[in-house]
Amino acid sequence: MFRKIFSIMVLMITVLTVNLLTGYITDYIIHYNLGIDPLKFTAIGMLALVFILVPAYGYMASKIEIMVAKLLLSGSNSFGKILGLLISFGLIFSILFGIYLHEWFDINLLSTIKNSILK
């Protein structure tokens, strides 16, 4: 049971992290417009994304998966097997949630929480 939960948590965090990093790469490439015709730029941009993101995804996914597994295991070693896993996952997921919230909606999670508490 622990292995299944652990594997699911590692997969979730790895996918979210790699998606976030590849999104930054994609945004950088797309916003680097050289004044080229939009049709040509789209074709060139799509090719560049494939040639950059495929190897980057393969490299990042394996490295991030190892890092996440180590972080989750360190939490389970510190606080007990299940509780530590849940605490580590909750912390990592909360950080990713805050980053995605800021990227997608330009909302600062810490400010929102602070304002909610002070009301």
Decide: 71 and 88 in contact? Cβ < 8 Å: yes
The crossing angle, in degrees rounded to 10, of helices 2-30 and 38-79 is: 150
What is the per-residue DSSP string for 14-43?
Answer: HHHHHHHHHHHHHHHHHT---S--HHHHHH
pLDDT of residue 111: 93
pLDDT of residue 8: 86
Please count the structural domains in the chain: 1
pTM of the predicted protein model: 0.77
Question: In the structure encoding, which two tokens stand for residue 60, read together?
Answer: 């990042």
Range of the domain at 28: 2-118
Q: Give dist(CA 119, CA 104) in Å, integer.
A: 25
One digit per residue, pLDDT tens: the chain, 119 residues?
778 888 888 888 888 888 888 888 888 877 876 777 888 888 887 888 788 878 887 888 888 888 888 888 887 788 888 888 888 899 999 999 999 999 999 999 999 999 999 87
